[in-house]
A and B are shown apart, each in its own frame.
Chain A
Amino acid sequence: MAGEMPFEMPLVELRKKIDELKQFGQEKGIDFADEINRLEERYRQMESEIYTHISPAQKMHLARNQQRPTTLDLIPLIFTDFIELHGDRMFGDDLAIVGGLARLEGQPVTVIGHQRGKDTKDNIARFFGSPHPEGYRKSIRLMKQAEKFGRPIVTFIDTKGAYPGNTAEERGQSEAIARSLWEMARLRVPVICVVIGEGGSGGALAIGVGNRVLMMENAIYSAISPNGAASILWKDASKADQAAEAMKITADDLLQMEIIEGIVPEPRGGAHKDYEATGAALKEHLLIHLQELSGMDGDALVEQRYQKFRKIGEFAEKRVSSNFFGSSSESEQGKVEKVADESMQPIDHTIKHLSSLAEQPGDEDAPRTPHH
């Protein structure tokens, strides 16, 4: 076994004890069969207890496990004949995003994914899987190429987020992400996105606008990393575990919220325990969803994708005519017009009038708290 998580340690210890007892019995010629059977039974109990109740925080650690299979680990387990394509044709080749041509059961597809490093050196070259603008621009280029040749697109999401660096900013990190969202929304081929590890923020979503969005069982997906949320909420990044519980970041949570369409099961204990089984399960799900999308033409695919994201959002709508001045304005018409109706005042007067109105507390009973 490799890559054990802290929550698995009781299992590891019990296994060690069982092995020791077996060895001791063999060496001394004593029969411990009853004891060993009892311990094995206890082990099975403990195993099902631990693995059926993996907490969000534990999933966060599983999703970040260094031994978890990456995009390049999964590609040969799912596809054949992978040909990697490089570069954005504008600035460079970002190794934090990989992509190229592959066959899924013979059908040509374009596959794109974030790529974490497998060791320190690799991680440095790949910026720990955090892309620069050129990574997103390479991805956009490959997606439009796929569209041109009618190939479905599969993306694997696995990043803490876009790279926070000065060079990334200078080259338009925001624009690269925004443009990727914009372009993905209008692709006329099927797009299936799978969160295979950590889906962190806009840098993850940038390759996540699909007709289907799936998550691996232990993957997480959020607007801000639990560490970041903890440092904002409680001024303490070490409370990431606590934040992970509050933020609803697991595949189950997202399925329930109808953000994703499916969960790909992982081998017991996580994807890193069995690469082959992980790849097989993922392949099975890709084939099912691709089959469902195969009957749709370009217009239908764009429309379905649009509606999928269009409906996300939860809010309340109250009947009021203007919200400029809080709840007290329920019965009044739009205030901008009202002010202007009084006379044709020069603009600075209007502003003054409005800002003094805006100062009125929205709720008479509640005290105004000062700006932070």
Chain B
Amino acid sequence: MFRDLFQKKKKYATIPSQRWSNESASDEPSQERPKREIPEGLMNKCSKCGTIHYSKELEKNLKVCSNCGYHMRLNAIERIVMTVDEGQFTEMDAGMESIDPLNFPGYAKKLEQQKMNSGLRDAVITGEGVIEGHRAMLAVMSFDFFSGSMGSVVGEKITRAIEAADERNLPLIMFSTSGGARMQESIISLMQMAKTSAALSRFQDNGGLYISVITDPTMGGVSASFATLGDVIIAEPGALFGFAGRIVIEQTIRQKLPDNFQTAEFNLEHGQLDMVVHRKDMKTMLSDLLDYHSGKGGF
């Protein structure tokens, strides 16, 4: 009698979970697959206007919403593939990883999580690439790793990329996206602002061309160092670009800020940018600019 009751209940409640646990015990990767196929598979929702897109269509459209024009965030890999000529990218410093220099509570664990989530070792990929036949040094940040925050690794890889551009006499293109300094490395992360800016001043004094591309969002310590030091500064439509965050500012001035505050268009209007360029036109624009400077810092 008791057994009957128990079994009945089991049918309702525990059979599905039993199936799960059996499967994951026998085959580790399949535990991941069914979970991911639903959100990442067929459909994607625009986080601005809510339009549902077929993923294939969205990718064809370079992850720009066909309804509202929102430029969705790209990771560094997608960005590089979109920017360089087929196969024309050689990565530098691929094995560089963050450590926990200050023994900061929770940092080591968070780093592991971020690596798992993004498949990256840190928030920037650097290397030499070719854009429509023009060689250039590239540094491409990825918001999906630790909100693109700048710690020692980001600072060092960017500085090495700048120095490599200087040594190889190549132009430099950096795609920025960042929430700011990596708090868990405190003062060391702050000093990366000075390190990268100093490297840029040396590179630019030597006649090097630096094109900075602002992507959504570029804030704080990255915004207040290399991202704003381009000879030419380009932003993607709608990209947030500023020093202090909206919430902090609203609390300070006790006013509501306009919706377009700190967007690329707002910054263009206030003279902080040279231009706002749609993702589909970015590669051509970069190539045109490189073409102009191919006599100096070009080849």
By a beta-carbon cutoff of 8 Å, the part of chain A in contact with chain B is: 162-166, 168-175, 177-179, 181-186, 201-202, 205-206, 208-209, 221-224, 229, 232-233, 246-249, 253-254, 257, 259, 305-306, 309-310, 312-327, 334, 336-337, 339-341, 344, 347-348, 350-352, 354-355, 358-369, 371
Contacts and interface: CB of A to CB of B under 8 A. Distances in A.
Contacts of B259: none
Contact of A312 (B77, B80, B188, B249): B188
A257 B188 contact: yes
Interface of B: 28-29, 31-32, 36, 40, 56, 59-60, 62, 75, 77-78, 80-82, 84, 86-91, 93-99, 101-102, 104-106, 112-113, 115-117, 119-122, 125, 144, 152-153, 155-156, 159, 181-183, 185-195, 197-202, 205, 220-221, 223-229, 241-245, 248-249, 252-253, 255, 257, 261-262, 270-272
B116 A178 contact: no
Given A166-B249, A166-B261, A223-B189, A354 B194 contact: no
A166 B251 CA distance: 11
A164 B252 contact: yes
Nearest to B181: A223
B151 to A, nearest CB: 8
13 contacts: A165-B244, A173-B224, A178-B193, A185-B202, A223-B187, A247-B186, A254-B187, A259-B188, A314-B185, A315-B98, A323-B121, A326-B116, A368-B36
Contacts of A223: 181-183, 185-187, 189-190, 221
B186 A249 contact: yes
B116 A358 contact: no
B186 A334 contact: no
A172 B88 CA distance: 36
Q: Pick the 8 closest A-B CB pairs, nearest first.
A: A340-B87, A164-B244, A185-B198, A318-B95, A181-B197, A313-B152, A223-B190, A177-B224
B76 to A, nearest CB: 8
A340 B86 contact: yes
Nearest to B102: A248
Given A223-B183, A313-B156, A320-B95, A169 B243 contact: yes
Nearest to B189: A223
Contacts of B182: 223
A172 to B, nearest CB: 5
B187 A248 contact: yes
A354 B121 CA distance: 16
Given A223-B189, A359-B36, A368 B224 contact: no
Interface majority SS on B: helix, strand, loop or mixed? helix
B105 A259 contact: no
Nearest to A175: B228
A291 B190 CA distance: 28
A363 B159 contact: no
A224 B90 contact: no
Contacts of B87: 336-337, 339-341
Contacts of B226: 178
B283 to A, nearest CB: 9
Nearest to B226: A178
A176 B228 CA distance: 9
Contacts of B241: 174
A249 B187 contact: yes
A309 to B, nearest CB: 5
B224 A310 contact: no
A174 B116 contact: no
Q: Which of A172, A202, A310, A365 neighbours the largest number of chain B CB atoms within 10 Å of its CB?
A: A202
A327 B98 CA distance: 14
B62 to A, nearest CB: 8
Given A320-B95, A367-B116, 14 more contacts: A164-B245, A166-B261, A178-B226, A185-B201, A205-B191, A232-B183, A312-B194, A315-B152, A318-B95, A323-B95, A334-B89, A358-B75, A365-B28, A366-B116
